Structure 1
Amino acid sequence: MGSDATISPTSSISSSSSTSPAPSGYTTSRAFLEALAEGGVRYVFGNLGSDHPGILEAYAQARADGREHTLPELVICPHESVAMAAAIGYAQVTGVAQAVLVHVECGTQNIGGMLHNAAKGRVGVLMYAGASPYTQDGELFGSRNEFIQWIQDVHDQRGIVRGYTKYDNEIRTGANVKQLVHRALQIASSAPAGPVYLVGPREVMEAEAPTRQADAAHFPPVAPAALAPDVVERVAAALAGASRPVVVTSYLGRDREAVPALVELCEAAGAGVLESVPSHVNFPADHPLHWGYQWNDQNHNPLLEEADVVLVLGSDVPWIPAKNRPGPTARVFVLDEDPLKEQMPLWHVPAELFAMADLGTAVRQLRERVAELADTDAVARRRERAAVEHGRVFAARAAREAPDGETITPEYLVACVREAIDDDTLVLTEAITNYPTVSWHLRRTAPGSLLGSGGGSLGWAIGAAVGAKLAEPERLVVSLVGDGSYLFGVPSSVFWMARRYDAASLTIVFDNNGWNAPKASALGVHPEGTAARRDEFAGHFTPSPDLPGIAEAAGGAWGRTVEAAGELKDALAEALGAVRSGRSAVLAVRVPGM
C-alpha cells in the first residue's frame, strides 16, 4: 500500500456528518419518545445521566417547536427506586404501562428492588437506560467525553435485569426504534404483564432517524384467553357438586370487573372465599361468603382443610403447605394466567388440573355453567353455612379493635383509618408484619380501592402513591406502611416529587421503632433460641428517626407523631384535611414496639 493511503491518527475525527448533530434534528431519541407516547405512555419517570443528552435535546426541541404534546411528560425523580415505584403505582391504577428512564448500569442497579416488585406483581413497566458510548476517539457524534463512560462500561448491562424482565433489547439504529418500543410495550402489557428493558448507546440515540416508522396500533396486547369447553365443564361440575367448596385468590382483583363476576360465581356455587396474601380487593369483605385472609399464618385453617373442592383463582401462595393446606382428599383446580409459576424454581400445588386463562374470562365462563348445574336447595344450605362462618371469623377480629388504654394497637389504628376514609379512597398497603391487620380491619369492599406491591421488596408504597395520584388526581390516596418500609421508600425523594408535581397523599406509619419482620422470622425458626431468650434481634431503630420530619424538610409536608389513643382520631382528621388542601401529610403512629 502506498504512502498516500496511510491513515493519520486524526483522520477519523473529521467534520463529516457522522461527527455532527443530525441535520434534520429528528433523532433516535425523538423517535423513541414519540413511540412511548404513541404506545400510551403519559409519563417518563426519569433519573438523568451522561447518557441522556439526546433525550434532553429532544424535549427542548419539542417545546421550542410547540410539539411537547407529542412526547410523554418527564417527571424528575431524585432516586431511581422511586421512579420505578411511581411507574408501578400509575400502571396498577390505570392498567397502562409507563416508562422509567435511568442512567446506564448504575441507575439500572438502583431500581433492583422495585424491578422485583414489578416482576412478581405482574405490572407492565418499560425501563430504558443508556449505555456507555461505544466509540472513544470522536469517531461518531456522542462519542465518549467523560471519564465515567469508561468506568460504567460493563460486559452485560442487560444481564443485570434479565432474571426479572419479560423482554430486553438494545436500540442499534434509529431506523426501527419505534418498532422496538411498540414491541416492548406490547410484551409488557400482555398477560401476565411485566417489566421490559431497552438500552441505547449515546451515538445511536443522537443519530438521525426516519420520521415514518411502525404504527402503535399494530402492536396491541395479546387478547384475553378463555378456558377450553371441557375444562369449564370439569371445574363447573366439581363446584356444583361439592358440599364444601372454597375459592382461594390473591390477585384476581387486578381486573376490577372480575370481582363482581367472582361474587356471582361463588353465590351460584355456595362457595366460601379465602384471600391469601391479597394485593387487591378480590372479593367484598362484607359479603357473607367472605371467609377472611391468610398471610404467614402458622396455624391450621379448618375452613380450608375441610373443603372438598378448592378452586385456586390467581394466587402465587394459596397456602403454606407445612401449616394450612387442604385435606388429602380435596379436589384442587388451579386457574391462572400463569398457572405453573415458571419464574419460581420451587413451586407446587397438588392439583388435578392446571389451566391458563384470563381470570375474568374464566370466572364468567364458570359462573354461567355452575348456575346451570347446581342444585338450588343445596346451594342455599352452603350459603347459609358460609354466612355463619363469615360472621364468626369477622366478629372475632372486630373484638380486637379497642385501644389498650392509651396504647394505640395496630387493630385500633386501622379501625380508625377505616372510619375516616370512604369507599373510593385508594389505600396502598405495605405494613409488612401488620399486613394481616390491614386486611382484617380495613375490610375494603370496592374493587380497585386497595393495592399491594405484589412482591417482596420494601419501599414501594410511598413512591407508588405519587404515580397513583398522577393517574387519578382527584382521588384521595392513603399509604399504610411500616417504619422500615417508609425509610426504604426514600422519603426525601418522594415528598420532594409530591410537592413539585402536585401529588399529595397521606402516609400513615406503623412506628414500632424497628424491623419487626426479621424478629418474627427468627422466632418462627428458633422460638426457644438464644435470640428469643435474650431478646436480641438487631432490628431496633435507636435513636428513633423523626419520620414525619423527613417529609417536612424535603417536601413541606404536614407531619406529626402520635403516641396516645385519645389523640389519634383528631390527628387523622387534621392530616386528611392537609391532604385535601393539596399538602402531603405523614402521620407516624407509635404502636407496641418490638
Structure 2
Amino acid sequence: MYTTGTAFLEALQEAGVKYIFANLGSDHPSIIESLARAKQENKELPTVITCPHEFVALSAAHGYAQATGEPQAVLVHVECGTQNLGGAIHNAFKSRVPVLVFAGASPYTQEGELTGSRNEFIHWIQDVYDQRGIMRGYSKYDNEIRTGANVKQLVYRALQIAKSDPAGPVYLMGPREAMEQETEPVTIQKELWEPIAPAAIPPKHIEELAKDLLSAKKPVVVTSYLGRKKEAVAELVHLSDQLAIPVIESVPHHMNFPADHPMHCGSYWNDPKQNQVLAEADFVLVLDSDVPWIQMKNKPSKDATVYYIDIDPLKETKPLWYIPSKRFFKADAYTALQQLNGYLKDAELDKDLVSERWNDYSSYHERQKEVRTKMEQAEVEGITPEYLTACVRELMDENTVVLNEGITNYGVISNHIEASEPGSYFGSGAGSLGWNGGAAIGMKLADPDKTIISLTGDGSFLFSVPSTVHWMAKRYNTPFLTVIYNNQGWKAPKHSTLGVHPDGVANQFQDFYVHFDPPADLSGVAAAAGEAHAITVKDRSKLKEALEEGLKQVKEGRSAVIDVYIPHVYIDEEVSNIIEKETV
C-alpha cells in the first residue's frame, strides 16, 4: 500500500528533513505502518526520535534548526499534543526558528465508511471545532491534509514558508481517513520550492546610510541575533574594524560579535541603568534586534540618528512596538552589511577620527574586562554567578557550544562567558522557559562532535521537563553538560515586583512567593531518568573539580548535571551589592 502517510514521510525525506521528533498517538496508524514498511524494505526516511513530552520534542527541533538553519519535523497527537507543545511553540515563533509541526486529527467518520474511521473512545473526546486555531497565533502557516494527491506539495510549501525570512514554525494536520487513503506517488522538483531570496537595502538608500555613518563622531551598532547567519559576523567585524565602531549586544541569543574584539562593548539584559556608550552615541545602527533597549531604563540620546535593519522591522506580530528611526529596512543583515562594506570600500575616511575612536573604545573594552575579572574574584562567601561562569569558561575550547537560559543571570552569563566563535553561543530568543534541555539534544544531534554545555537557572531546569530530556539523552546518545545556577527560587518575579513597587509591602516583608524551599534534588532527577552523572555543589573549593569531572563524563558519553548553589533568591541582592562595592 502507498498511502498519504507514506507520501508525507517521503516528502519530508526528499526535502532534507533528517529527524522526526515524535510523540505518537491514535491518529498516527498510517505513519507508524509506513515507517514499519520502510524499515522492512530498507527505504530511507527521516529518523524517528521518540519524545515522551511534546515540549521537549519541539525544543529539540528548535535547537537543531538554530545550529544548522534546517527545519526538522515534530509529530504530535491531535489537539491534546498540539496544546502540550505549550511554550515551545511560542519560543519557535518568537525567535523565528523554522520547524514543521504535524498533528493528526480525530476521524471524521464513525461507522466504518472509510479506513481509519472512529474505533476508540478518545476519538469523540478529542474532536474540536478549530484545531488549527490553537496554533494560528504562533505559526506562519497552517493547513489540513485532505488527500494524498497533493500532500507533497503541501509539505514543500510549508517548508518553503518556514525557511523564508522571517522564518518560523508551520503547522499541518491530517485526519486518519485522509492519511490512510491509498494514492499514487508524485515527483516534486525540489529546486522549485526554495525559500525566498534574502532581502537587501534599496540601492538608493545605501549612500544615505553610509554618509550618515561616516559623518557620525560616535556611532554604535546594537544587535541581538545577527549571528544566526555565521557569515554575517565576519561582515560586522569588517565594518567595525574599518570605522572603529563599537558593538553592543542586547539580550544576545547568538554569538554576534567576538567578545575578545577590542570594539566589543559588552551586552545588557534588564539592567536598570543607562549604558554610557549608547547614551553618548550620535548614530545608532540596529541590526537584527527585537528589543535593542528598554526605554524606561536605557536608550540613546533623542538627538541620535537611528537606522533599523531587520528581517522583521515592523514586528507585525507584536501589538505594541515602536522605535523612532530615520529609516527602517526589511533586509537580511548579512546582505545589508555586504552592501554597506562594499560601498565603504572606496570611501574617504577621517583616519584621525577613526584612530581616536579605536583608542577610546578599545580602552573601554579593557576596562570592562578588568571589572569583570574583579567581579569573578570578589571575596564573598559561597559561589557567585560571576565566579561560576568564569569556571565554566575555563572548560571551553573551540569545539564547545554554550546554551544560556540563566534568566536573571542571563546578563552575567552573556558577559562573562566571553564567546568569540560564530555558532558557539545560543539563547532561546523568546520567553517560555525550559528550552535548554531539548535544545541541547537537538544541537548534539546536529553536530555530534561538539561539546554542549547548557547553563540554566533552577526554575528553567524544572520547566525543561528534565525527566524526558535525560531519558532521551541516554537513549539517543546525545550527552551534554548541564550547569544549574541554583538560587533556590524564581528571582525574575521578585525583580519585576521591585521594579513596580520598590517600597511596597512585599519588599518590606521580603515575601515574594518565589522560593523553592526545601530545594529539590535536581541533578538526582536527571540521574534517575537517564543515568546522568549527578553532582550538587555548595562549597566554592569543590566547584572546579566537579565541573571538570562533569565534562569528563560527557566526553566519555554520559550526560552530567552539576547543581551549583549560588546565593539564595532572598539574599542575592546583598551579595550583588558587595560585589559592586568591591568592583568600584
Partner of 1:209: 183
Taking the aligned partners of 1:215 and 1:509, their CA distance within structure 2 comes to 47
Taking the aligned partners of 2:96 and 2:374, their CA distance within structure 1 comes to 36
Partner of 1:450: 425
Which of these residues, 89, 98, 117, is aligned with residue 72 of structure 2? 98
Number of paired residues? Answer: 568
Partner of 1:167: 141
Look up the equivalent residue of 1:268 and give its one-letter code.
Answer: Q
1:221 correspondence with 2:220: no
Asked if structure 1 preserves the Cα contact closer than 8 Å seen for 2:71 and 2:162, the reply is yes
Partner of 2:516: 541
Taking the aligned partners of 1:351 and 1:72, their CA distance within structure 2 comes to 45
Partner of 2:479: 504
Taking the aligned partners of 2:28 and 2:518, their CA distance within structure 1 comes to 41
Which of these residues, 239, 245, 257, is aligned with residue 213 of structure 2? 239
Partner of 1:529: 504
CA apart distance, 1:406 = 4.9
Partner of 2:7: 31
1:431 correspondence with 2:401: no
Look up the equivalent residue of 1:177 and give its one-letter code.
Answer: V
Which of these residues, 27, 30, 35, is aligned with residue 59 of structure 1? 35
Q: TM-score, normalised on structure 2? A: 0.96
Asked if structure 2 preserves the Cα contact closer than 8 Å seen for 1:49 and 1:102, the reply is yes
Which of these residues, 461, 469, 472, is aligned with residue 436 of structure 2? 461
CA apart distance, 1:372 = 2.7
Taking the aligned partners of 2:497 and 2:190, their CA distance within structure 1 comes to 51
RMSD: 1.0
CA apart distance, 1:65 = 1.1
C-alpha distance 496-549 of structure 1, shift in aligned 2 (>3 A):
same
SS in 1 for 2:143: strand
Look up the equivalent residue of 1:568 and give its one-letter code.
Answer: L
Asked if structure 1 preserves the Cα contact closer than 8 Å seen for 2:457 and 2:486, the reply is yes
Flag as ranges the 4+ runs of structure 1 deviating above 4 A: none
Look up the equivalent residue of 2:27 and give its one-letter code.
Answer: D
Taking the aligned partners of 1:529 and 1:549, their CA distance within structure 2 comes to 38
Which of these residues, 368, 381, 394, is aligned with residue 419 of structure 1? 394
CA apart distance, 1:403 = 5.5
Taking the aligned partners of 1:199 and 1:184, their CA distance within structure 2 comes to 12
Asked if structure 2 preserves the Cα contact closer than 8 Å seen for 1:405 and 1:565, the reply is no
Taking the aligned partners of 1:375 and 1:402, their CA distance within structure 2 comes to 41
1:43 correspondence with 2:13: no
Taking the aligned partners of 2:107 and 2:212, their CA distance within structure 1 comes to 60
Look up the equivalent residue of 1:310 and give its one-letter code.
Answer: V
Asked if structure 2 preserves the Cα contact closer than 8 Å seen for 1:101 and 1:129, the reply is yes
Which of these residues, 57, 68, 73, is aligned with residue 47 of structure 2? 73
Partner of 1:345: 319
CA apart distance, 1:201 = 0.3
Which of these residues, 226, 230, 250, is aligned with residue 256 of structure 1? 230
Look up the equivalent residue of 1:65 and give its one-letter code.
Answer: E
Q: TM-score, normalised on structure 1? A: 0.95
Look up the equivalent residue of 1:184 and give its one-letter code.
Answer: A
Which of these residues, 281, 286, 291, is aligned with residue 307 of structure 1? 281
Taking the aligned partners of 1:241 and 1:397, their CA distance within structure 2 comes to 33
Could you say which structure has the larger radius of gyration?
1
Which of these residues, 445, 462, 480, is aligned with residue 470 of structure 1? 445
| Percent sequence identity over aligned pairs | 57
Asked if structure 1 preserves the Cα contact closer than 8 Å seen for 2:404 and 2:425, the reply is yes
Taking the aligned partners of 2:377 and 2:362, their CA distance within structure 1 comes to 25
- Please list the CA deviations of residues 233-290 of structure 1 after superposition, one character each: whole Å capped at 9, or x if unmatched: 1111111111000000000000001001101111222211110010011000111111
Partner of 1:13: none
Partner of 1:552: 527
Taking the aligned partners of 1:348 and 1:542, their CA distance within structure 2 comes to 41
Q: Where in structure 1 are there 5+ consecutive unaligned residues?
A: 1-24
Taking the aligned partners of 1:390 and 1:459, their CA distance within structure 2 comes to 33
Which of these residues, 118, 136, 155, is aligned with residue 129 of structure 2? 155
SS in 1 for 2:393: helix
Asked if structure 2 preserves the Cα contact closer than 8 Å seen for 1:239 and 1:269, the reply is no
Asked if structure 2 preserves the Cα contact closer than 8 Å seen for 1:292 and 1:394, the reply is no
Taking the aligned partners of 2:371 and 2:346, their CA distance within structure 1 comes to 36
Asked if structure 1 preserves the Cα contact closer than 8 Å seen for 2:536 and 2:564, the reply is yes
Look up the equivalent residue of 1:55 and give its one-letter code.
Answer: I
Taking the aligned partners of 1:62 and 1:97, their CA distance within structure 2 comes to 22
Taking the aligned partners of 2:268 and 2:395, their CA distance within structure 1 comes to 25
Taking the aligned partners of 2:357 and 2:12, their CA distance within structure 1 comes to 51
Asked if structure 1 preserves the Cα contact closer than 8 Å seen for 2:152 and 2:186, the reply is no
Partner of 1:16: none
Taking the aligned partners of 2:3 and 2:281, their CA distance within structure 1 comes to 61
CA apart distance, 1:405 = 4.8
Taking the aligned partners of 1:94 and 1:259, their CA distance within structure 2 comes to 16
